[in-house]
């Protein structure tokens, strides 16, 4: 129990990586089979988040509500904007690239976040931890190099690098917000803004028309989309609690195991159903297993 208490942030970060891997695989299915346009994923994510908020808010009943400053509300708004903008970029990239490869691009966080933490927060880490971060990030790049779709590889790459820079801001804003209010309360407030920002494109006529055309396809998949959103909310919660209990740079590095989880889940689902998952996941199977092992070793060095 002592080890678990001391390394709760690592367990939470790895849990968020596994949950987000499931979301990546299922999102790839939705982009190819359900959504007319990639941004429909952002809109549906926002609407689903708003729909789930009443249930999530029940968690505040026991803990109560702590008044928040204007700065805290503004930080939560910026978190919502940053998070949903990265989601839009993610869905556009997912439309042209294998889910495991897209998830690998997130791992530029392993480079950018420690740098930002050093420059902005003055945070330093032991040399061994930097070696672990390098191993995790390096193996993630290895996954990206294995992408078979050379035509769209760079489109997805540049989109995801922009998304990663916004994700860096999201992590640092989260860290500052959680110093001003209880963690779960901060999670709820950020979720409110995530939902509002995600649904905001419906204020524009072209997006409403696309939503109306796409609805007959989306409606039968609503239960499936709710499952994705519940999984995503659990991943966000694990990530936020990990940030609250550990260093943002270490949390980001641990979450860099997501490509390994994504590869595994995509392959297992494809083998089991021949419907979900992606056949491309079996490409260079043994090399991916090797990269997964090296990545796991890198994570073991983070604590």
- Using the CB atoms, write b or e for 85-97: b if 16+ within 10 Å: bbbbbbbbbbbbb
Q: What pLDDT is recorded for position 201?
A: 94
Quick check: is 278 in a domain? yes
Residues 46, 51, 53, 58: what is their CA dihedral angle, to the nearest 10 degrees? -170
Bigger pLDDT: 16 vs 147: 16
Mean of pLDDT values over 260-264: 81
pLDDT reading at 255 higher than 90: no
pLDDT tens digit string along 154-185? 778 788 889 988 988 898 898 889 888 888 88
- Report which of 16, 3, 85 is spatially closest to residue 252, judged by C-alpha positions: 16
Is 1 within the bounds of a domain?
no
How confident is the model over 199-225, as a mean pLDDT?
A: 93
pLDDT of res. 147: 62
Tokens of 114: 């420690």
| Residue 72, pLDDT score | 93
The answer to whether position 159 is within a domain reads yes
pLDDT digits (tens, 9 = 90+) for 51-94: 888 888 887 877 778 888 999 999 999 999 999 999 999 999 88
Average pLDDT over residues 6-15: 84
184: Cα within 13 Å, side-chain hemisphere: 11
Q: Which carries the bigger pLDDT value, residue 271 or residue 67?
A: 67
In the chain, the number of structural domains is 1
Q: How far apart are CA 247 and CA 31, in angstroms?
A: 34
Q: Is residue 121 predicted with pLDDT exceeding 90? A: no
Say whether pLDDT at 106 is over 60.
yes
Yes or no: say if 27 and 93 are a contact pair by the CB < 8 Å rule: no
Domain boundaries, position 118: 6-300
CA-closest candidate to residue 45, choices 67, 30, 60? 30
CB atoms within 10 A of CB 149: 13
Give the count of alpha carbons within 13 A of 50, CB side only: 13
Higher pLDDT, residue 259 or 113: 259
């Amino acid at each position: 129990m002592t080890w678990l208490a001391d390394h709760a942030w690592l367990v939470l970060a790895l849990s968020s990586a596994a949950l987000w891997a499931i979301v990546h695989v299922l999102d790839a299915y939705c982009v190819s089979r359900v959504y007319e346009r990639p941004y429909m994923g952002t809109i549906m994510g926002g609407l689903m988040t708003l729909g789930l908020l009443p249930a999530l808010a029940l968690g505040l009943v026991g803990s109560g509500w702590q008044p928040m400053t204007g700065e805290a509300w503004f930080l939560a708004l910026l978190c919502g904007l940053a998070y949903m903008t990265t989601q839009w970029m993610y869905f556009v990239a997912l439309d042209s690239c294998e889910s495991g490869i897209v998830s690998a691009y997130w791992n530029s966080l392993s480079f950018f976040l420690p740098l930002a933490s050093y420059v902005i927060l003055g945070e330093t880490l032991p040399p061994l931890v930097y070696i672990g971060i390098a191993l995790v990030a390096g193996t993630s790049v290895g996954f990206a190099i294995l992408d078979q779709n050379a035509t769209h590889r760079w489109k997805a790459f540049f989109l995801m690098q922009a998304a990663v820079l916004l994700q860096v801001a999201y992590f640092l804003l989260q860290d500052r917000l959680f110093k001003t209010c209880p963690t779960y309360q901060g999670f709820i407030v950020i979720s409110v803004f995530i939902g509002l920002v995600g649904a905001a494109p419906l204020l524009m006529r072209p997006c409403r028309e696309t939503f109306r055309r796409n609805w007959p396809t989306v409606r039968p998949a609503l239960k499936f989309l709710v499952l994705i959103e519940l999984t995503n909310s659990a991943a966000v919660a694990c990530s936020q609690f990990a940030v609250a209990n550990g260093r943002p740079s270490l949390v980001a590095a641990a979450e860099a195991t997501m490509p390994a989880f994504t590869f595994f889940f995509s392959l297992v689902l494809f083998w089991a159903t021949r419907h979900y998952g992606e056949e491309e996941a079996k490409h260079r199977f043994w090399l991916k297993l090797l990269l997964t092992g090296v990545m796991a070793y890198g994570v073991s060095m983070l604590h």
